[in-house]
Amino acid sequence: MPSNNYYPRNEPGFIQWCIDFFLYLASHLPGWGLDPTEEASLKSDFDTFQNAYNHYHDPDHKTPANRVAKDTAKKGFEKRLRAYVKEHLAFNHLLTDADRRALGINVPEPGPHPPHPLPTSFPILTFGTQTAAWLYMHLIDSVTKHRAKPFGVQGAEYRCGICETPPVNPEDLPEVGFITRWPHIFKFRKEDSSKIFCVCARWENTRGEKGPWSEIYRVIIP
């Protein structure tokens, strides 16, 4: 991303930009491998700012204190918005440049890429089942044995599905996603309890180059 100045500076224009951004984002979350709860949290911060903006511009409430409240809400939301775009949208390989234009964010500029190597390690997956019908997935690097991403890695692509017998080829698993933070939560229907869930993952660097797949794990859905 060349800069953070991809949205309007004036507040009415910024609010309309955000409305369009969230409409497009919400309709594409599953296909981009994004967590809807994180999007909902970001949207809640926008709603807080928009409500503070509307409150301040009501002639009966246009006070210095309400202006401070508006500006504080905007500043907090903008910080989270820029971080979300950078982490989840700017270099997510599941988005096209057309998607980024529709979102109103910058398209990465062509040119030299940072010297980040092709991933040679793979994620080791571990799972937690603290909540019924939820499966928590952690990733550990096979070389460093740490939960932190290896150098140059922006996240992990995963493939998954409910299956009695795990396929030999990860590409045969029906669902695909991309994550940059963990634990990642898979949420299931109650009727899926006790079924077998199959999942594997591989690292991806900032140039979209992918490392080797992990083994295909079989986990009982809680």
Single-letter amino acid code for the residue at 53: Y
For 52-108, what is each residue's pLDDT tens digit?
999 999 989 989 999 999 999 999 999 999 989 988 898 888 888 899 999 999 876
33 CB-contact burial (10 Å; exposed 0-12 / middle 13-18 / buried 19+): buried
- Residue pair 121/211 in contact (Cβ under 8 Å)? The answer is yes
Single-letter amino acid code for the residue at 52: A
3-state helix, strand, coil in the chain (%, to 5): 35, 20, 40
Q: Which of 44-48, 116-120, 130-134 is the most confident on average? A: 44-48
The rounded mean pLDDT for the chain is: 89
Q: What are the beta bridge partners of residue 140? A: 124
The fraction of the chain above a pLDDT of 70, given in percent, is 95
What is the C-alpha separation between 48 and 167, in angstroms, rounded? 46
| Residue 48 CB neighbour total at 10 angstroms | 17
Name the pLDDT band for 2 (thresholds 50, 70, 90). very low
Average pLDDT over residues 182-200: 93
At 24, which helix (H) or strand (E)?
helix 11-26
Q: Is the pLDDT score of 19 beyond 60?
A: yes
Q: Is the pLDDT score of 201 beyond 90?
A: yes
Tokens of 176: 């695909």
- Residue pair 56/70 in contact (Cβ under 8 Å)? The answer is yes
What is the C-alpha separation between 42 and 76, in angstroms, rounded? 10
- Higher-confidence residue: 6 or 2? 6
Quote the pLDDT of residue 130: 81
Average pLDDT over residues 201-212: 90
Quote the pLDDT of residue 114: 54
DSSP secondary structure code for residue 85 in this structure = I
Q: Is the pLDDT score of 4 beyond 70?
A: no
Quote the pLDDT of residue 91: 80
The fraction of the chain above a pLDDT of 90, given in percent, is 60
CA dihedral 202→205→211→213, nearest 10 degrees, is: 10
- By C-alpha distance, which of 158, 148, 187, 2 is closest to 85? 2
- By C-alpha distance, which of 78, 79, 97, 82 is closest to 15? 78
Q: Is the pLDDT score of 1 beyond 50?
A: no
Average pLDDT over residues 216-220: 94
Average pLDDT over residues 12-22: 93
What is the C-alpha separation between 217 and 201, in angstroms, rounded? 10
What is the C-alpha separation between 2 and 222, in angstroms, rounded? 44
For 133-176, what is each residue's pLDDT tens digit?
899 999 999 999 998 888 888 889 999 999 988 888 999 999 99
| Angle subtended by helix axes 64-84 and 36-57, to nearest 10 | 160
